[in-house]
Structure 1
């Protein structure tokens, strides 16, 4: 009998060691695959991120933050400023920052799934699936975008909510918001949690407090307070198109629809839908548990960018990750949703990463941020992200709805409906 007792722990240790070894190997493969993408220079990198880096390097590093030269909030610019003081090439450095947060993102996915399925293979598999999602891998390593940063902090906030550590959760949500405005896509969850007393109201001010605290270094460098506080307002007004390649509901609108009229209506409708869902959960007095909290976060992260106008394809990033987490919590109901979301978003990623460079009607276009022969690159109106194609005729835009994007929007609509129906059934049970 004593021999049996000794064998079982030994077997468990071997299984755990084997699991860790396979996990480390898989993570190494995921990182190596990203390294092979490092040489690609996206249009966004050329027109924006590289230009910001050069401005910072030419104006004294952190001292450059007193100037207004970017439409990103200052925490990301701090990272670029730190990068200027290293020997790392700018393209590699920008992507290393994003890939590092890919790993942080996968870590929090692992921890959230482990709360539901402790031990076994599912938590590490979920983390690896997120690392290997086409949109996650290309966002950081091919595109050089920073969506993994706010998503990682958002997942950290959700993890600490599930652990009933509200103050730390709000710190993480504040960090997420400080890096990207898109963190607000999951903030309806905070409202539900506060109304249901899962989260104390007095913890919520921590979110804006963290954002303001991260502005302090820029203030000390000489940046005007008004400039720092208005950065997200400027972002929100940078684009007027109903959809900026996002597979959203606006792909079903006819080309030439009056965006000036539809945009405010779309914002109002989105707000009403979100408040209606919050009220439905609160009034039903359903018992909250980790599965329902994950579902609420997923619904919010995928529904809001689907309904809001002027969304980019990347704005589904947080929803893409959360659909994987939700599928691990309720696999029988949601296993296919991450597939639908990737099928809806990744083709749009490819369209951005490898643009045809043609204006409407097959006429050559000029991509803003890319200098024409003998000319100077022109930044997009409002300092926004671009690229926008010009030169194909008055008012030409690459953002008009097409059949291809309507198909992608239909896939996203199926994903949204699936998550909503699952949430409705889950909350009906109580």
Structure 2
């Protein structure tokens, strides 16, 4: 217990060292949102359209305006608290494979000390740990046989960030295999609408709340925004809109092919297989989707660590490859310069994707041999 407490304190101390750093994104967005909320009376300010994030995160900023804490520290504390929740659900998922011993705690510690996880919130003042914590929680509850609660967690994740859709193919697989009742899908948008309620009560425009993610998706026209994905191998100077549309269609088709291949193979839904599919989709979708930011591999950063604990023999290189690709794509924003050519980072992410796909195929072959 003493060792565990010491390690938790260490992970918090590492973050506290980074708290004074102010990123460009923080100054350009989050700080200005906070100041707008504070200048317009706290929660009543949410009736205005001043941010491109969904309102649940703005609720947290509104709470900060009532507390005697510096805004930068307050914003980062929010993310760090969800870092802890993320580590907790990583522990719970890994403990399903190792109910005794120290490996679940090692997995949680590893995730909490990943460079991308540490810098995302404590340095960059981003909030990707929020949706990721709810996403990993959803995976945990679905494999524990609590599909309705899993759908609630998917809804909570979606209320904070659109990027949880990278795990929706897994949800579709589970629905088609009748591990999640199809009415549970209605819970996901239901939770989002429920969380929009307080903003509606203070006079927010319903149309704006319903279109916030559509507006986000249309905001970026570049094929890739520093993401280590397939578009780093292209040098397109024209017809980018056409390629973007084709990329969306290709990704959708590829996801459906994988989903129906899993269904057609009639695999048994085991905890390791769900973990493996979650890690696979967390890499696959942002790797092929256009207009991805570098931070959109955050779920992959976390879930590949979990997958490596489930399949240590073959997947131990995967979280290293993903972390290498993901973190070095952060460096232009955190340190002002790129440390590694993005094409090498994209190649590393592709190798990680191939290794996870290979393990999925091997899992199916092992099941056939056992039958």
Superposition TM-score tier, normalisation by shorter sequence: over 0.9
Task: Say whether residues 1:66 and 2:47 are aligned partners.
Answer: yes
> 3-state DSSP class of the match of 2:341?
helix
Counterparts of 2:340 and 2:10, CA distance in 1: 36
Match of 1:92 in 2: 73
Alignment TM-score, normalising by the size of structure 2: 0.97
Count of equivalent residues = 367
Instruction: After the TM superposition, list the runs of 4 or more consecutive aligned residues in structure 1 that deviate by more than 4 angstroms.
Output: none
Task: Say whether residues 1:421 and 2:358 are aligned partners.
Answer: yes
Task: Say whether residues 1:291 and 2:272 are aligned partners.
Answer: yes
CA RMSD, Structure 1 to Structure 2 (Å): 1.2
Match of 2:58 in 1: 77
Aligned 1:110-125 pairs, distance under 5 A: 110-125=91-106
Once the two structures are TM-superposed, the CA of residue 228 in structure 1 deviates from its matched residue by: 0.2
Counterparts of 1:265 and 1:426, CA distance in 2: 32
Task: Say whether residues 1:254 and 2:250 are aligned partners.
Answer: no
Task: Say whether residues 1:127 and 2:64 are aligned partners.
Answer: no
Match of 2:88 in 1: 107
Task: Say whether residues 1:149 and 2:86 are aligned partners.
Answer: no
Aligned 1:22-421 pairs, distance under 5 A: 22-355=3-336, 404-421=341-358
Query: Is the Cα contact below 8 Å between 2:328 and 2:340 reproduced in 1?
Result: no
Once the two structures are TM-superposed, the CA of residue 348 in structure 1 deviates from its matched residue by: 1.2
Please list the CA deviations of residues 315-340 of structure 1 after superposition, one character each: whole Å capped at 9, or x if unmatched.
00011100000000111010110000
Query: Is the Cα contact below 8 Å between 1:344 and 1:409 reproduced in 2?
Result: yes
Query: Is the Cα contact below 8 Å between 2:251 and 2:285 reproduced in 1?
Result: yes
Please list the CA deviations of residues 332-390 of structure 1 after superposition, one character each: whole Å capped at 9, or x if unmatched.
0101100001111111111111225xxxxxxxxxxxxxxxxxxxxxxxxxxxxxxxxxx
> 3-state DSSP class of the match of 2:360?
helix
Which protein is richer in helix relative to its size? 2
Alignment TM-score, normalising by the size of structure 1: 0.84
Please list the CA deviations of residues 168-199 of structure 1 after superposition, one character each: whole Å capped at 9, or x if unmatched.
11111100000000001001111100100111
Once the two structures are TM-superposed, the CA of residue 428 in structure 1 deviates from its matched residue by: 2.9
Once the two structures are TM-superposed, the CA of residue 24 in structure 1 deviates from its matched residue by: 1.2
Counterparts of 2:3 and 2:316, CA distance in 1: 23
Counterparts of 1:158 and 1:23, CA distance in 2: 24
Query: Is the Cα contact below 8 Å between 1:292 and 1:427 reproduced in 2?
Result: no
Once the two structures are TM-superposed, the CA of residue 255 in structure 1 deviates from its matched residue by: 4.4
